[in-house]
Amino acid sequence: MSADSVLARQIGAFTGALAAIAGNASDYQQRIDAELTLGDILRWLWGAVTEPVLRRLGFDGEPPAGRTWPRVWWIPGGMLSQLPLHAAGDHQEPGQAVLDRVVSSYAPTIRALTHARGRLGIVPPQRSLVVAMPTTPGASPLHNVAAEAASLKQKLPAPTILIETSDVSSDTTPTKEAVIGRLAEAHIAHFACHAASHPNDPSRSQLYLHDHEEDPFTVATLLPVRLSGPQLAYLSACQTSRNAATDLLDEAIHLASAFQLAGYPHVIGTLWEINDKIAADIAGGFYTHLRTPSGELKTASAAIALHETIRDIR
């Protein structure tokens, strides 16, 4: 069997297991079987891809206490971009996972990575935008999003909060127009909402705002937006780092890469469905780790803060 066939089979099993977990939360045995499948695939990914790379780079164990963690940028491309390289490993065995050896980041291309690194800000962020959709027209409620937004109001600098409420005429309703208008001046943009990756046209992948049915906020929406000093975009929403169009895998077009290309040097997104309680916990932990002893947020440490948060959650 060719390497491409093996990879395709693993991707099929992985997406099938994720779908089983998302769609059958009440079926205990099916969920357990799916989670065991995920574990098997992460161990395979570790042995076939990531462990040999880390070993070649000299990262053969967890860094000693007090030592700066090494950083790796993954640019997988093709079908390999459908699997989570940063999560590969045997998480029941100490030191046998990517998470135990390096801080991981992704870039769609080397040119995009160079561009992003050239825009790293050294000035602490002064303004932020939080877009929260606890309820969404035509979609299920996100019961923990309101609490996530309230928590971020205490953690972010000069936050503007756009949140869906029963008062649709409010000037804080998260419409596409309102979000674009406020993005321009926000150094940090945090979205807590539903999202979806379009199966055939990744430029139509979108964040679900108040008016998503009439005027969707898509990847293409961000292309003409002119931003003033963007530093960090946090997409606390499902499928914001996934390109589901299999014939366009090398194009690296999804919501996270769109924010990066729009000018944000640091973008955090999710690959698949996520429980909104876990999403809120991760967001809170992330901004706590991002804060310096002097009380400022150091966005240049975003990857490290996320790494520490995920290890805490694990």
Same-domain pairing of 156 and 285:
yes
0.85 surpassed by pTM: yes
First vs last Cα of the chain: how many Å apart? 35
Range of the domain at 100: 3-106
Q: Are residues 266 and 157 in the same domain?
A: yes
Residue pLDDT tens, the chain, 314 long: 788 899 999 999 998 898 888 765 567 888 899 999 999 999 999 999 999 999 999 999 999 888 899 999 999 878 888 899 999 999 999 999 999 999 999 887 787 777 766 666 568 899 999 999 999 988 889 999 999 999 999 999 999 999 999 887 788 999 999 999 999 899 999 999 998 876 667 777 889 999 999 999 988 888 888 888 899 999 987 654 444 444 434 444 468 878 887 888 899 988 777 778 888 999 999 999 999 999 899 999 999 999 999 999 99
CATH of the domain at 189: 3.40.50
Same domain, 198 and 306: yes
Count of domains for the chain: 2
- Give yes or no: residues 179 and 296 share one domain: yes
Of 86, 106, 126, which residue sits at a domain end? 106
- How far apart CA 135 and CA 268 sit, in angstroms, is 22
Same domain, 163 and 297: yes
Same domain, 128 and 270: yes
